[in-house]
A = this chain, B = another copy of it.
Amino acid sequence: MCSLVRREAFQTMMAIPVEEWAGLVRAGEVRALSRAITAVENHEPAAEELLRRLFPFTGKAYLSGMTGAPGTGKSTLVDRLAAFYRKREERVGVIAVDPTSPYTGGAILGDRIRMQGHAGDADMFIRSMATRGFLGGLARTTAEVALLLDAAGKQQLIIETVGVGQDEIDIVRLADCVMVVMVPGLGDDIQNMKAGLMEIADIFVLNKSDREGADRLQQQLDAMLSLVMPRDGWHPLVVRTVASENRGIDVLAATIDKFREHFAARGERELKHVEYWKKRLVELLEARVLDKFLGGAAGDELLTQLAKEVAGRRMDPFTAVNQIVAKSPI
């Protein structure tokens, strides 16, 4: 049933010209947007053309990133924050990234369950992403999906990701405002925090703050933050929430607003965006080159054959790379 619906949407979108498709995405039409995201995820040829057409209409959404260990209640927190934005009549897009889950099917099921609370609300869009490809990072796909939602007129974008590795850190780096979620008693005290997460947090969310140990965790956080130098005039704040009871969500939203205003006034956001685009252009260049030199079955065959030569020490790796470049000049 589910796959039938998806296939139908697929065929409908494939049948229309890209410019019309782009127009539907800009209008926020849900099927066109869903189909565009799938095109981006699968690296379909139409995706680039679509993104190119939509790009001039992006850059308006505010992108919040939320990360934290499993069990910190991120999904509930995101859900409540999204509902809060909807009450303010802002259009909301949520991208939930879980690279540890190998099942896209599970992600889709998750979307359906999560969307139930927002059934019939066309200005609330939730999408989960779980798959990780060989030639193209999850961070890149997430960034492109964010562009699509931005072009579709979503004003508040929330990216939610489980904070486990470099991939996830790259993903939250996309965000204008980075939130790290912690809960008392999960064993993830400050000392155990992922290297790299601490430095990128703009706001710490102390969720499940009615639990035992919340005060101690807050003290630890405060002690650590007292040692941290403000970054561009911003000193990271700690916000206490109990997402399951909708407590503290208003304070969290107000803190995000405060952070946004702080950087809007200082112009650092633009600088950050230039740094971000430098990195993205390098990634795009890499992807372009890989596709050119090693795309398709023939590319994989060539790569395997050369790797065998190198593994057997019959060829050195530099000569092998030269052969790849020589076979298909850009």
Interface positions of A (Cβ within 8 A of B): 48, 51-52, 55-56, 58-59, 100, 135, 164-167, 169, 187-188, 192, 194-196, 270, 273-278, 280-282, 284-286, 288-290, 293-294, 303-304, 306-308, 310-311, 313, 316-321, 324-325, 329-330
B277 engages A310 (CB within 8 Å): yes
Taken together as a complex, chains A and B put the C-alpha atoms of A144 and B255 apart, in Å, by 47
> Chain A contact residues: over half helix, strand or loop, or mixed?
helix
A324 engages B167 (CB within 8 Å): no
B304 engages A274 (CB within 8 Å): yes
A52 engages B281 (CB within 8 Å): no
B52 engages A316 (CB within 8 Å): yes
B319 engages A307 (CB within 8 Å): no
A290 neighbours in B (Cβ, 8 Å): 282, 285-286
A303 neighbours in B (Cβ, 8 Å): 278, 281-282
B277 engages A52 (CB within 8 Å): no
A280 neighbours in B (Cβ, 8 Å): 310, 317
A317 touches which one: B167, B277, B306, B313 (CB < 8 A)? Answer: B277
B55 engages A273 (CB within 8 Å): no
Given contacts A59-B311, A284-B318, 5 further A-B contacts (CB under 8 A): A165-B194, A282-B303, A285-B324, A288-B321, A289-B289
A313 engages B281 (CB within 8 Å): no
A284 touches which one: B51, B276, B286, B321 (CB < 8 A)? Answer: B321
Q: List 22 A-B contacts (CB under 8 A).
A: A51-B316, A51-B317, A51-B318, A52-B316, A55-B316, A58-B313, A59-B311, A100-B195, A164-B196, A165-B196, A166-B167, A187-B192, A277-B310, A281-B307, A281-B317, A285-B294, A285-B324, A286-B289, A288-B321, A288-B325, A325-B330, A330-B330
Taken together as a complex, chains A and B put the C-alpha atoms of A313 and B53 apart, in Å, by 12
A165 neighbours in B (Cβ, 8 Å): 165-166, 169, 194-196
A308 neighbours in B (Cβ, 8 Å): 274, 277
Taken together as a complex, chains A and B put the C-alpha atoms of A290 and B306 apart, in Å, by 21
Taken together as a complex, chains A and B put the C-alpha atoms of A327 and B141 apart, in Å, by 27
Taken together as a complex, chains A and B put the C-alpha atoms of A118 and B164 apart, in Å, by 38
A188 neighbours in B (Cβ, 8 Å): 192
A306 neighbours in B (Cβ, 8 Å): 277, 281
B317 engages A55 (CB within 8 Å): yes
B194 engages A192 (CB within 8 Å): no
A273 engages B311 (CB within 8 Å): yes
Shortest distance in angstroms between A303's beta carbon and chain B's nearest beta carbon?
Answer: 5
Most chain B beta-carbon contacts within 10 A, residue among A58, A276, A321: A321
